[in-house]
Structure 1
Amino acid sequence: MKSLPDRNATVELLKKMTVPSPTAGGTVTCQAGERGAVVYQSNDHIIASVSDLVTGSPKAFLDLRLARIGIDFTLARE
């Protein structure tokens, strides 16, 4: 079974897809070619999933507690 990309590779994939950053408590979706992404952000937590829209197979997954790692998570401006 092929493993999913690490955190940094997943963030770069989301940036390449030009996924807008959600506001706290918000969810955004994005489609780029045959890939789709869903990103949810609470006050200190972000969950993102990227899937192949044709096969439905997962391509990347991200689950971060922002306060613990001390980063400002920004993908792209809307």
Structure 2
Amino acid sequence: MINGNKKSIMSVVYTVFTLILIALLTVFINQGIANTAKVQAIEIKQAVTESSVKTISEDIKEIKSDIKTLLSRDK
């Protein structure tokens, strides 16, 4: 009888331990996914910023060229 109780107690302990382990793994996996998403969002923001800077730089060059053209017409 005592031996049967020990087996059932150990079974409960193993089940609880397994559930805790699964919960911890789930939390770590979810944090990894969240961190990956954050990194991707940051990379997208950087790419958009770099593209915007390039576009602004090109626009400034065009404006300078247009101003030079207009100034040369006045002469």
TM-score, normalised to structure 2, is: 0.18
Say which one has the larger Rg.
2
Which has more strand, going by share of residues? Answer: 1
Task: Name whichever structure is richer in helix by fraction.
Answer: 2
